[in-house]
């Protein structure tokens, strides 16, 4: 099957009741056919998306929620804007979220929409953090109708979730904030055999709550890259569509945002990225004393992480 030519995405316009009914029926039909049977490519631009922001994960609302990482979307009127990461209630038992990703094709950057399915598919090798290392998902798994959460990558502070375990997530590739695959400076990753098989399984599109998250993000001026320069004030939310309150997480600065047309750094060896296994976001923050006038700055020895690492670090931000 020849790939469908990508089309440019425009801001959504108000829908009539008939159009809403038609879209609802279409969504029901799409649930019964493979994702590869319809267009999963919606946006194409000629400017590389910005690097991924650095942010912490909000506390999970309750059992059955799965983390959907934030990403850069695009609007022709305002350019790139950040869609905050959020906890999403799985649409059915056994559903896993494959994030969307930007990829380089024929001189343009194309966005491939994310989807729900029984297995994680290819998402460009992008290291979104919180269990999404670029290959697969290390944040948990389904068992006997319930989702089991890995505490090492999920922010769990509620007694309502009892199906938890601890598994160290190891990352075998250089941690960076590159947000696209291919092209100049993009991640050099290709689908694995398992990801190719997963692409032919039955998928369903993003839920209504996820679409509401995108719509609200497109209307929030502070989330535009041209305004926040890669450091959005709403980097993640505890629930979809809730952009205010204690569950909102701000991004923190992590280097200068490149100008339009700028490219993120490649792998330092200039070779394709090896397939990462798992990713444990964050490390202990560096503690540097203020230098005394006329004297050199001295670095304190790194703290001992053999005991009490969780107590000293708290939330572990992505890309830290």
Q: Is the pLDDT of residue 282 over 70?
A: no
Mean pLDDT of 25-47: 52
Whether 158 and 60 have beta carbons less than 8 Å apart is answered as: yes
Mean pLDDT of 100-112: 94
User: Which of 5-14, 75-84, 127-136, 233-242 comes out lowest in average pLDDT?
Assistant: 5-14
Q: 292-305: per-residue pLDDT in tens?
A: 444 443 444 444 54
pLDDT score at 126: 96
pLDDT above 90 covers a percentage of the chain that reads 57
pLDDT score at 159: 74
Confidence of residue 262 (pLDDT cuts 50, 70, 90): very low
Element (H, E) at 237: strand 236-237
Residue with tokens 């919180």: 130
Average pLDDT, the chain: 75
3-state helix, strand, coil in the chain (%, to 5): 15, 20, 65
Q: Is the pLDDT of residue 7 over 50?
A: no
Q: 42-57: per-residue pLDDT in tens?
A: 678 889 999 999 999 9
Long-range contacts, stretch 163-169, CB < 8 angstroms, 24+ apart = 163/63, 167/138, 167/278, 168/278, 168/280, 169/131, 169/133, 169/138, 169/277, 169/278, 169/279, 169/280
pLDDT score at 40: 64
Mean pLDDT of 230-256: 90
Most confident stretch, 3-12, 152-161, 189-198: 189-198
Does 3 or 220 have the greater pLDDT score? 220
Which segments of the chain does DSSP mark as H helices, in order?
17-30, 193-198, 208-219, 225-228, 309-313
Other C-beta atoms lying within 10 Å of the C-beta of residue 19:
11
Q: Is the pLDDT of residue 156 over 70?
A: yes
Please state whether the predicted TM-score (pTM) of the whole model is above 0.75.
no
């Amino acid at each position: 099957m020849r790939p469908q030519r990508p089309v440019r995405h425009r801001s959504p316009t108000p829908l009539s009741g008939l159009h809403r009914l038609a879209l609802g029926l279409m969504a029901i039909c799409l649930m019964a056919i493979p994702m590869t049977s319809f267009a999963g490519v919606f946006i194409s631009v000629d400017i590389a998306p910005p690097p991924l922001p650095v942010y912490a994960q909000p506390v999970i609302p309750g059992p059955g929620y799965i983390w959907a990482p934030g990403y850069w979307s695009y609007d022709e009127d305002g350019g790139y804007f950040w869609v905050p990461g959020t906890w999403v209630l799985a649409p059915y038992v056994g559903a896993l979220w494959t994030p969307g990703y930007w990829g380089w094709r024929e001189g343009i950057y194309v966005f491939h929409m994310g989807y729900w399915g029984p297995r994680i598919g290819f998402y460009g090798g992008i290291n979104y953090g919180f269990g999404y290392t670029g290959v697969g998902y290390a944040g948990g798994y389904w068992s006997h109708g319930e989702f089991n959460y890995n505490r090492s990558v999920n922010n769990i502070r509620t007694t309502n979730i009892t199906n938890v375990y601890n598994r160290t997530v190891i990352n075998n590739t250089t941690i960076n904030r590159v947000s696209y695959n291919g092209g100049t400076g993009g991640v050099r990753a290709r689908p694995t055999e398992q990801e190719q098989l997963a692409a032919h399984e039955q998928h369903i599109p993003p839920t209504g709550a996820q679409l509401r998250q995108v719509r609200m993000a497109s209307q929030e001026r502070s989330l535009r890259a041209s305004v926040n320069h890669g450091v959005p004030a709403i980097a993640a939310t505890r629930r979809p569509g809730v952009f205010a309150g204690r569950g909102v997480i701000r991004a923190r600065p992590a280097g200068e945002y490149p100008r339009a047309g700028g490219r993120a750094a490649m792998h330092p060896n200039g070779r394709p990225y090896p397939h990462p296994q798992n990713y444990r976001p964050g490390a202990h923050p560096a503690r540097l004393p203020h230098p005394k006038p006329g004297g050199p700055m001295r670095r304190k020895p790194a703290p001992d992480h053999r005991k009490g690492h969780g107590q000293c670090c708290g939330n572990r931000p992505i890309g830290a």
